[in-house]
Chain A
Amino acid sequence: MVIDGNPNAGSITETFSLEYLRMYYGKLFPYTDMFQWMSYGNDGKHPGCDLSFFGRREFSFTLDNDIYLRFQSFSNLAEMENSIKEKCPFKIDIGPVYSVDPAKRHAYSQGGNSVFAPVERELVFDIDITDYDDVRYCCSGADVCLNCWPLMTAAIKVMDVSLRDDFGFNHILWVYSGRRGIHCWVCDGRARRLTNEQRTAVANYFHVYKGGENSLKKISFTGAALHPFLTRSYTDVLRVIFEEKLLCSQDLFASEERYQKILELIPDETLVTELHEKWSGNKRSTTLNNDRWDHLKHTLQSGKQKVQGLRRCVEEIVFSYTYPRLDMEVSKSMNHLLKAPFCVHPKTGRVCIPIDPNNCDDFDPTSVPSLSELLEELNAAGLKAEFENVSEIEKTSLGKSIKFFRSSFLHPLLKSCKEELERSHNAKLQQSKNSLNW
């Protein structure tokens, strides 16, 4: 098969164009999977199903010419599919499930008492590499490379474990945002029903880094111990990533300018001067970063440094350089929109594919399938007989992502939705026996 409508049929040259996007939506976008996910089991035959559920979800589209369409809603799979194919949005955002169909919200708000309010929404997190510019030297802004990507890996590892072990969530989807960061969707029923206050609480639980250009010291641990979550994050993830990856990949101690920034985190003048003097004679060595880090640790943790402020200084440095920096606002309220997985980023042409948190070390943002590659693969596959009984998506490198999405996220999620549906349905039947009591 050769892609029609392309002036250079057969040879895909650009990274992104409306034409490509149209083909992507036409042949590859996983509508059914998205629909099943967003239905949370309510698209079945069970008497407990809420058939209006999917239709009360807000989608919003950003179109070609920056036209922004909010409060789109679809009563079924076909409606969603047709609308996306027709409008060909550069970006699809997903909002909350509202009390009523968001497209008809005005009809409901008449008469003063508005019943239009969000009732459910995944707990979401958004982490952007742009927020780490003060601790990475390889790239800046929206660029990422394999040297700084471990910062994102650290975030996934720290948060994924905590969301599962501390908060007890099971249905968690990590997604590459297509360019400069990662998104996290926590989809357990309990997570979806959190109030804004509770969401804020979860976000704050993860919030350690206190930004602010003017405060040199952005992290400070004052208690006699660290909270178990922080200890675990430190020993299992942050220290490892700091010492094994970032220390060398970012050359954190290689120049005076760089190690000076670290020394500024030490609140003891004498020690800082001591270290600074030792390092100022420029020694060329392949183990420079490691040597200096060891040296620093040794100085701070040696027996005589029992001073209050220094006790946690090594941890504070590691946290400052590695701990996840969340965009807090995204997580705090149900209303916040977040880009849907499997969108294509218009700047990079890369697809927002899921990331496997158990193998996130292997994730390479620079080799994420891009629109042009996918279309080439489709073209190529079209010529081969062996692909006859395979869906379009599975003919491409996106196939692996979709398989992972289904097996590790969607299917377990739908199974537990079904169980929950059953449970709450039975509970409702039971409840009718309730007696009133003053």
Chain B
Amino acid sequence: MEILRSHRKSIGKVDAVVPNLLLYRTAPVLEVRLDEFEIYAIDRLKVLKGISDALSRGKKPEEMEKLVDDLWRMHMRQHASQNTNKDIISHFVLRLVYCRSEELRKWFLSMETTLFRYRFRLESPDSQRILMDEFNLPYKALTHAEHESVKDKLSQVSRSIGSSTNFDSIFFKVHFEEVPELVANRKVFMLQGFAYVAMHQATALVVTQFRSLLSKSLVLTYRKWTSTIREQEKDRLTPIVEALSTDYLGPNYSQPKDNIHITLKDIDHLANTSFPLCMRHLFYKLREDHHLKHGGRMQFGLFLKGVGLSLDDALAFWRDEFSKKVGLDRFEKEYAYGIRHNFGKEGKRIDYTPFSCQRIISSVPSVGNHNGCPYRHFSDENLRAALGKMGVGGRSLDDVMDKVKNHHYQLACTLTFEAIHSSSCDTGINHPNQFFVESQKILQSKNQTAS
């Protein structure tokens, strides 16, 4: 794949290849603009993250099928013309992004395989067959003559397993080793070492095949990444690739939502009703110690900014607490700068964005720091106590702890949200500011119906 810095040259003829679904056997021979490179990857990542959320929430196959279809339409099919290219490019970019550790590879492999499975199921039988044929899978669709010669046996097998005969007019020859389960249950006709697999049985095989090919390629990609690409591309692709795996993909919370502005006097109340656990913890620690170390100040300060605290109120808020410990003078000298800095009023004048869950969860708080995500960074015991204080108990508490045990921290946070609001949160929690916004929405609508 060639990557162009700015404008696009001609794109090779790629449209005549296949149905909607690709097996990504070879890297595309197209030229890609650097901005497309990133945008496409992010769009695909949104699809994969959506799948990942749905899976960890235990969605059923039928629900998954619809969800995958919707996600794909929403993020990957905005423009009919670039479908295939976007699909190929985004896939190969994410290979680079996700080849770089065992953990990343595992996640990517599992999400891409799921995506592939449901997309394959959505294809028409004809294009399913073309896919299987054209991508050189070790299965060959039976020719007409072959089919004729074993027709009776095939229908006998169909009847023996209780599936209707004419439904499956397409059969594949597969080495029996590839389909142990079908062989074990005598669900296929066997001849000379080949299992004759009906189309409806084939989906599982294709998916297995897809998975194993991708798994191998990821390892190869990783080798290539470490041996050449990372160095060669250190000024162009490498930073993009490295950022992508931790990128937060949701809406930007650096500006407060227009209908929510908070003032100093609201904070105590809001902390109690609408702060996620990470922020509550920082808030109460600040009240207790009148101090927070840098990591905590960043995480909490930016959150407050996103929530809608003005610069002046923010300064007043921090001054109030810190002066109790370090005195007014030291606060003005050492800390006020940082707060203005967060608001883009000092230094590079960048308006800093509040941290996403992913960023917070992957941070490594050092001793004495209170930043981080409690679901990830607290001990079991402390977490239970903290959740108890928020009013989470009984079954809900067990559910939350269960997600924690399985390392689904954001889901744990989502369940907490649902428990304390007695209301569902379908999108899941991806950002502390989102937690806040969603919480306020619910509370306000409750107030309105109450009055």
- Check A205–B220 contact: CB distance below 8 A: no
- Check A204–B184 contact: CB distance below 8 A: yes
- In the complex with contacts A190-B193, A201-B181, A438-B95, A225-B186 CB distance below 8 A: no
- Check A201–B184 contact: CB distance below 8 A: yes
Listed stretches B101-109, B158-166, B244-252, B395-403; interface member: B158-166
Tell which of B156, B162, B193, B223 touches A167, judged by Cβ atoms closer than 8 Å.
B193
- Check B160–A225 contact: CB distance below 8 A: yes
Listed stretches A25-33, A36-44, A192-200, A296-304; interface member: A192-200
Among A189-235, those with CB < 8 Å from B are 190, 194-195, 197-198, 200-202, 204-205, 223-231
Tell which of A198, A204, A224, A436 touches B160, judged by Cβ atoms closer than 8 Å.
A224
A134 within 8 A of B: no
Minimum CB–CB distance from A161 to chain B (whole Å) comes to 12
Among B142-192, those with CB < 8 Å from A are 153, 156-157, 159-162, 176-177, 180-181, 183-186, 189-192
- In the complex with contacts A201-B183, A438-B224, A231-B156 CB distance below 8 A: yes
Among B71-113, those with CB < 8 Å from A are 92, 95-96, 99
Contacts of B159 in A (CB 8 A): 223-225
CA distance A402 to B193 in the complex (A): 29
Minimum CB–CB distance from A195 to chain B (whole Å) comes to 8
Residue of A nearest to B189 (CB): A228
CA distance A436 to B225 in the complex (A): 11
- In the complex with contacts A167-B190, A202-B183, A227-B160, A194-B96 CB distance below 8 A: no
Contacts of B193 in A (CB 8 A): 167-169, 190
- Check A200–B184 contact: CB distance below 8 A: yes
B217 within 8 A of A: yes
Minimum CB–CB distance from B269 to chain A (whole Å) comes to 53
Tell which of B96, B189, B217 touches A437, judged by Cβ atoms closer than 8 Å.
B217
Residue of A nearest to B221 (CB): A438
Contacts of A436 in B (CB 8 A): 220, 223-224
Residue of A nearest to B178 (CB): A198
Contacts of A168 in B (CB 8 A): 191-194
- Check A190–B177 contact: CB distance below 8 A: yes
- In the complex with contacts A437-B217, A438-B95, A228-B184 CB distance below 8 A: no
- In the complex with contacts A167-B193, A168-B194, A437-B26, A197-B180 CB distance below 8 A: yes
Residue of A nearest to B1 (CB): A438
CA distance A223 to B26 in the complex (A): 44
Among A336-392, those with CB < 8 Å from B are none
- Check B185–A438 contact: CB distance below 8 A: no
Minimum CB–CB distance from A50 to chain B (whole Å) comes to 22
A166 within 8 A of B: yes
- Check A228–B157 contact: CB distance below 8 A: yes
Q: How many residues of B contact A (CB 8 A)?
A: 34
- Check A438–B27 contact: CB distance below 8 A: yes
- Check B157–A224 contact: CB distance below 8 A: no
Q: CB-defined interface of B15-41 with A at 8 Å, one 1/0 digit per residue?
A: 000000000001100000000000000
Among A272-298, those with CB < 8 Å from B are none
Main secondary structure of the interface of B (DSSP, over half): helix
A264 within 8 A of B: no
- Check A437–B156 contact: CB distance below 8 A: no
- Check A438–B183 contact: CB distance below 8 A: no
- Check A227–B180 contact: CB distance below 8 A: no
A19 within 8 A of B: no
Among A137-178, those with CB < 8 Å from B are 162, 165-169
Minimum CB–CB distance from A327 to chain B (whole Å) comes to 17
Contacts of A197 in B (CB 8 A): 180
Minimum CB–CB distance from B407 to chain A (whole Å) comes to 25
Contacts of A204 in B (CB 8 A): 183-185
- Check B180–A200 contact: CB distance below 8 A: yes
- Check B162–A223 contact: CB distance below 8 A: yes
CA distance A228 to B223 in the complex (A): 48
Counting chain A CB atoms within 10 Å of each CB, which of B27, B99, B181, B190 scores highest?
A: B190
Counting chain B CB atoms within 10 Å of each CB, which of A201, A202, A437 scores highest?
A: A201
Among B189-224, those with CB < 8 Å from A are 189-194, 217, 220-221, 223-224
CA distance A436 to B99 in the complex (A): 15
Contacts of A205 in B (CB 8 A): 183-184, 186, 190
Residue of A nearest to B154 (CB): A228
Contacts of A225 in B (CB 8 A): 156-157, 159-160
Minimum CB–CB distance from A123 to chain B (whole Å) comes to 11
- Check A438–B190 contact: CB distance below 8 A: no
Contacts of A202 in B (CB 8 A): 183-184
Contacts of B190 in A (CB 8 A): 162, 166-167, 205, 229
Tell which of B157, B176, B192, B217 touches A438, judged by Cβ atoms closer than 8 Å.
B217
Tell which of A194, A198, A224, A226 touches B162, judged by Cβ atoms closer than 8 Å.
A224
CA distance A426 to B296 in the complex (A): 63
Minimum CB–CB distance from A122 to chain B (whole Å) comes to 15
Minimum CB–CB distance from A352 to chain B (whole Å) comes to 28
CA distance A223 to B160 in the complex (A): 5
Minimum CB–CB distance from B183 to chain A (whole Å) comes to 4
Minimum CB–CB distance from A230 to chain B (whole Å) comes to 8
CA distance A166 to B217 in the complex (A): 34
- Check B191–A165 contact: CB distance below 8 A: yes
Contacts of B95 in A (CB 8 A): 438
Minimum CB–CB distance from B33 to chain A (whole Å) comes to 19
Contacts of B99 in A (CB 8 A): 438
Tell which of A198, A200, A437, A438 touches B177, judged by Cβ atoms closer than 8 Å.
A198
Contacts of B224 in A (CB 8 A): 436, 438
Contacts of A226 in B (CB 8 A): 156, 160
Tell which of A200, A230, A438 touches B220, judged by Cβ atoms closer than 8 Å.
A438
Q: Which 4 pairs of residues, A with B, have the shortest CB-CB distance?
A: A168-B193, A201-B180, A204-B184, A166-B190
Q: List 19 A-B contacts (CB under 8 A).
A: A162-B190, A167-B176, A200-B180, A201-B180, A201-B181, A202-B184, A223-B160, A223-B161, A226-B156, A228-B153, A228-B157, A231-B156, A437-B217, A438-B92, A438-B95, A438-B99, A438-B220, A438-B224, A438-B229
6 new A-B contacts, CB < 8 A, other than A162-B190, A167-B193, A227-B156, are A166-B192, A169-B193, A201-B184, A223-B159, A224-B162, A231-B156
